[in-house]
Structure 1
Amino acid sequence: MALVTSEAALKQRCLEVSPDGSLYTSLAAQSIRSFRQLAFAIGTPRSEPTPEQYQELAAQVFGAAAPIGKVAQLRDLHFEATTYVIQALKDQVSSDAAEHQVRKLPMAERAARLSDQQRRLSGVSITGELQPSYGLIDKVNHILESGQLVWISPSMCGKRDLEVAQGIDHKAQVVQVEKEALKVSASQVETKADVTTPLMLHFAFQRRGIAFDQCGLIEWSTHQDYLHRLLFALSAPVPPGFSQVTIQQIVRADKELWTIMARECMPPFKAKPDGTKPLDVSMSKLMLDSRVQMWLLPVMASQASKLQAPPSVEPSDALPSDVPTPTKKLRLRKKAKKVMPDALKGCKKFSKGPCCWGFNLEGCSLETKAAEDTPSAIVDPGPDSRSRDCKSPDQGQRKVFQAVKRQRVDMPERGFVLCKPMLTAELSEDEAPGKCLTDMLVIEVCCGSAGLSWACHKLGFQVMPIASRGSFDQKPKLRVHHLDLTDPEALRSLEELICTESARIALIWAAVPHGTASVARSKPLPRFERL
């Protein structure tokens, strides 16, 4: 129901203009109970009435010799009514998607309908779990006004308490196309209900029945009778070898009922002069239809898993079961292909993954329990590389590498613990646990594209790639800290960082400046020359 046709909206506005209620009483005595009737009482919305017409209307409403204040109230209310009517007609004509948009009921109309329904259904407390959300009532009212019957699933029958708990948030702006023009509007925020248990499903169905009764489409008693039949099938005993009726079957049967009603019941759905309601009569007739009851029959236990998922479940991105999944081709790694013995070439068993050639040929007695899924670090022990052991304040040793070429080194051999040890009473003070891999830090200076930092990051290290701004040949794979080491202050900050984090630094990789056009070559570096 629109604002211009709501009797409750006019009554509330009259009470705001005239708190004593005399204005609405006088208008109701002249059979004026909505803004639309008041707008056309004198003149038309496009032509303003003359003062004489206002005086004549005031004399009919308030009697002869109406005070000036009463006439002013009447003129104020009439101008507001004509404005509402013009805007309503404009929206109805100009918008292509007007019939598909769910209009919100005025708050005065909501309160009046709820009060009248609570008076009629004296044995039902429409609060808490049974109070439908405003969005649900708007959808049901849209069915009444537009004549387009759609199925409202139980998951869309939210409660008012959840709507209040969501609060007033800023809705996202959505761009829509109307009459070959772009229009920006706010997106609709829907309140979904939980229907994972029979009790929550029962509440959702009841909220929908209250919404349809409040809008005058289906009687509460009729919807309750239909709901009792659904829940009886959910709890009815089944023969041996058959599965209990599930919530998915209940929802599917409800969807089938509304689909048949939309096919056989023609609009309009408003109550007829004799008081009968088309949807109420149709539901009473179709709730026992065989096309609906077939979905409520128990199925064999072997076929229970093949039932359709409930509509409230969001669709997954997985392919349907009947769509064949292409097989993934296994490719032999280049490094394994080079070192594979001739006796094992052509065997599909070794086409992927690390393999021990000795175990598959003459035999291998090495333990493999501690070597499974062992991360490795990419370091450089080339011919000109140098390594030294250094003691840290904590337990353990660290290896510092300087290299140009890469190979893989197992981390447990370098003294790193790959997982945090469990602190128990059996650990003595002499058996202090080593460092955790995820706590160790790798610093890469002049990182370039940060390839080494990316490899260490995938192994679990904390990394800090450092490079000067604008010195990238390729896009870095990680976020790079911009630091110009030709600046004394920047170099001092890096030294302080290394001293502060020295207890947990696993590797410092310092690449030499590359390229004849490097920025670092344009400035003298006497300190580095001495090194």
Structure 2
Amino acid sequence: MATILESEAAFSARALEHGLSVPHLDRLKDQGLANMSKLAFSLTTPGTVPSDDALKALLDDNVDNVTVGQLSSIRRLMFDAQTLCASQIKTPLHETDAGKKAELVPAERATRIENQKVRLQGIELTGKALVLDYINLTVKDVVPKDKCQISNELQLHQAFTRRALACDLMQVCTYREMERWHRHLLDQMQSPAPPGFRPPNMEQILRTDRAGWVKMAERLLSLKRKADGTLPLGQALTALQSDPSVMFHLVPLPIEKGTTQPKTAAPKADDAAPKPSNVKKKDKLKPAKGRGKGAKGKPSAKGKMPTELIGLHQQDKSGRRMCYNFNMHKGCDQATAGQSCQKGMHSCMKCFGAHPAYQCTMA
């Protein structure tokens, strides 16, 4: 990742801001002075002021042709380069978190976005904002301040696309390498499952993705480009597809049958009823039997908490009952998310969001 000292785009932008012309900038680049780091050590070491004739010689072979304004511009650019170099040397001595961040300057950032538009012709980049910790890429445990709404497959795909573009912008891996990993995850949701099992859901996809990033954090020592031009993160993403400890999270799970038992218990009891001649006598005994020993250990089907929802909230923050069917995989066909039906509000029983509990990403 290019810092302000190594970025050619930042060097060009700073030179033009200080008043140098495009021919003068091209002359500097022809001499191999294409960034701040090289310019800082071209004439003297940082801390030693170069002479006026030496500065003029960078702009023209005949120093008499260099005007006072042009000399002022190259002197300002040289001062910036030497000051930044001196500041970079002092930073590692303090060993602070700020010194460990790799800064991506706005000029370099804008240049990379333009390059993305040329390379990724089939992707519309307008209207998307890519923010990476205020132009800094850091890897550490922090408390999340913002949440990305992921309640369906489309929102999950869009979130994956934004991450692929951000990683391509920071040049830690290519867009194609990251999208190959994303497609591998999303394709699992379309794969047919064995009888009695269901395909992986979004919760399993997110769990697999998190496990993959943890595995790469353990294996990768650096994200810098190798001598052969390859990026370590791209190779690690490809290796995740064959890692059993990561792909284990995508194993199809059995279909839960506990939620259908309360509805099927009543018909079974009717099927086992005695002959019509004895029904009246049995019916007289049913109320007393229901209140006595016969009902012990068998709670009524009405209001019984399904196995899939045990441990979750039954009421929202306002005390309103929440619909069980909406939060389970079978769903509720009476209303949409954020509304309500006769059985209660259609909101998540985990985080109270406008999505079912089985699609909730909250741990």
Q: TM-score, normalised by structure 2?
A: 0.63
Q: Which residue of 62, 65, 74 maps to 1:64?
A: 62
Detail structure 1 runs of 4+ shifted over 6 Å in the superposition. none
8 Å CA contact 1:217–1:279 kept in 2: the answer is yes
Q: CA deviation at 1:31?
A: 0.8
- The letter of the residue matching 1:96 is T
Cα distance, 1:198–1:278 mapped onto 2, change above 3 Å: same
- Once residues 204 and 136 of structure 2 are traced to their aligned partners in structure 1, the CA distance between those partners, rounded to angstroms, is 27
- The letter of the residue matching 1:36 is S
- Once residues 276 and 95 of structure 1 are traced to their aligned partners in structure 2, the CA distance between those partners, rounded to angstroms, is 29
2:47 alignment partner in structure 1: 46
1:79 alignment partner in structure 2: 79
- Once residues 24 and 63 of structure 1 are traced to their aligned partners in structure 2, the CA distance between those partners, rounded to angstroms, is 14
- Once residues 168 and 258 of structure 2 are traced to their aligned partners in structure 1, the CA distance between those partners, rounded to angstroms, is 35
- Once residues 135 and 242 of structure 2 are traced to their aligned partners in structure 1, the CA distance between those partners, rounded to angstroms, is 27
Q: CA deviation at 1:126?
A: 1.8
Q: CA deviation at 1:280?
A: 1.1
- Once residues 86 and 202 of structure 2 are traced to their aligned partners in structure 1, the CA distance between those partners, rounded to angstroms, is 48
Could you list the runs of 5+ residues in structure 1 that have no partner in the other structure?
144-149, 157-189, 306-531
Cα distance, 1:217–1:275 mapped onto 2, change above 3 Å: same
Indicate yes or no: 2:7 matched with 1:17: no
- The letter of the residue matching 1:292 is V
Q: Which residue of 176, 181, 190 maps to 1:221?
A: 176
- The letter of the residue matching 1:265 is L
- Match of 1:216, SS state, is coil
Cα distance, 1:48–1:279 mapped onto 2, change above 3 Å: same
8 Å CA contact 2:46–2:82 kept in 1: the answer is yes
- Once residues 271 and 304 of structure 1 are traced to their aligned partners in structure 2, the CA distance between those partners, rounded to angstroms, is 52
Indicate yes or no: 2:87 matched with 1:97: no
8 Å CA contact 2:173–2:234 kept in 1: the answer is yes
- Once residues 56 and 258 of structure 2 are traced to their aligned partners in structure 1, the CA distance between those partners, rounded to angstroms, is 72
- Once residues 71 and 59 of structure 2 are traced to their aligned partners in structure 1, the CA distance between those partners, rounded to angstroms, is 10
8 Å CA contact 2:55–2:75 kept in 1: the answer is no
8 Å CA contact 2:28–2:58 kept in 1: the answer is no
- Root-mean-square deviation (CA, aligned residues, Å) is 2.8
1:122 alignment partner in structure 2: 121
- The letter of the residue matching 1:18 is G
- The letter of the residue matching 1:39 is A
2:283 alignment partner in structure 1: none
Could you list the runs of 5+ residues in structure 2 that have no partner in the other structure?
260-363
8 Å CA contact 1:92–1:98 kept in 2: the answer is no
2:133 alignment partner in structure 1: 135
- The letter of the residue matching 1:68 is T
2:205 alignment partner in structure 1: 250
8 Å CA contact 2:91–2:99 kept in 1: the answer is no
Matches within 5 A, 1:303-452: none
8 Å CA contact 1:270–1:278 kept in 2: the answer is yes
Q: Which residue of 52, 55, 61 maps to 2:53?
A: 55
- Once residues 58 and 303 of structure 1 are traced to their aligned partners in structure 2, the CA distance between those partners, rounded to angstroms, is 83
Cα distance, 1:80–1:136 mapped onto 2, change above 3 Å: closer
- The letter of the residue matching 1:233 is Q
Cα distance, 1:103–1:122 mapped onto 2, change above 3 Å: same
Q: CA deviation at 1:119?
A: 1.2
8 Å CA contact 2:104–2:136 kept in 1: the answer is yes
- Match of 2:242, SS state, is coil
Indicate yes or no: 2:160 matched with 1:199: no
- The letter of the residue matching 2:86 is I
- Once residues 47 and 258 of structure 1 are traced to their aligned partners in structure 2, the CA distance between those partners, rounded to angstroms, is 47
Which structure is higher in helix share?
Answer: 2
- The letter of the residue matching 1:55 is D
Which structure is higher in strand share?
Answer: 1
- The letter of the residue matching 1:297 is V
- Once residues 75 and 19 of structure 1 are traced to their aligned partners in structure 2, the CA distance between those partners, rounded to angstroms, is 11
Q: Which residue of 239, 256, 275 maps to 1:302?
A: 256
Higher relative contact order by CA 8 Å / sep ≥ 6: 1 or 2? 2
2:266 alignment partner in structure 1: none
- Once residues 141 and 112 of structure 2 are traced to their aligned partners in structure 1, the CA distance between those partners, rounded to angstroms, is 23
- Match of 2:34, SS state, is coil
- Match of 1:42, SS state, is coil
Larger Rg belongs to: 1
- Match of 2:256, SS state, is helix
Cα distance, 1:46–1:270 mapped onto 2, change above 3 Å: same
Q: Which residue of 201, 221, 241 maps to 1:266?
A: 221
8 Å CA contact 2:20–2:73 kept in 1: the answer is no
- The letter of the residue matching 1:228 is R
1:373 alignment partner in structure 2: none
Cα distance, 1:96–1:132 mapped onto 2, change above 3 Å: closer
% identical aligned pairs: 29
Cα distance, 1:212–1:303 mapped onto 2, change above 3 Å: farther
Question: Which deviations, in whole Å up to 9, do the C-alpha atoms of 1:450-470 show, x marking residues without a partner?
Answer: xxxxxxxxxxxxxxxxxxxxx
- Once residues 71 and 224 of structure 1 are traced to their aligned partners in structure 2, the CA distance between those partners, rounded to angstroms, is 49
1:377 alignment partner in structure 2: none
8 Å CA contact 2:40–2:85 kept in 1: the answer is yes
- The letter of the residue matching 1:45 is P
8 Å CA contact 2:113–2:169 kept in 1: the answer is yes
Which piece of structure 1 moves more, 275-284 or 14-23?
Answer: 14-23
- Once residues 107 and 8 of structure 2 are traced to their aligned partners in structure 1, the CA distance between those partners, rounded to angstroms, is 9
Cα distance, 1:83–1:43 mapped onto 2, change above 3 Å: same
Q: CA deviation at 1:249?
A: 0.9
2:191 alignment partner in structure 1: 236
- The letter of the residue matching 1:230 is L
- Once residues 122 and 304 of structure 1 are traced to their aligned partners in structure 2, the CA distance between those partners, rounded to angstroms, is 50
1:281 alignment partner in structure 2: 235
8 Å CA contact 2:5–2:84 kept in 1: the answer is yes
Cα distance, 1:137–1:200 mapped onto 2, change above 3 Å: farther
- The letter of the residue matching 1:254 is D
2:335 alignment partner in structure 1: none
- Once residues 111 and 124 of structure 1 are traced to their aligned partners in structure 2, the CA distance between those partners, rounded to angstroms, is 17
- Once residues 31 and 55 of structure 2 are traced to their aligned partners in structure 1, the CA distance between those partners, rounded to angstroms, is 10
Cα distance, 1:231–1:300 mapped onto 2, change above 3 Å: same
Question: Which deviations, in whole Å up to 9, do the C-alpha atoms of 1:296-342 show, x marking residues without a partner?
Answer: 1221233999xxxxxxxxxxxxxxxxxxxxxxxxxxxxxxxxxxxxx
- The letter of the residue matching 1:261 is M
- Match of 2:136, SS state, is helix
1:106 alignment partner in structure 2: 105
Q: CA deviation at 1:98?
A: 3.4
Q: CA deviation at 1:250?
A: 0.8
Cα distance, 1:271–1:304 mapped onto 2, change above 3 Å: farther
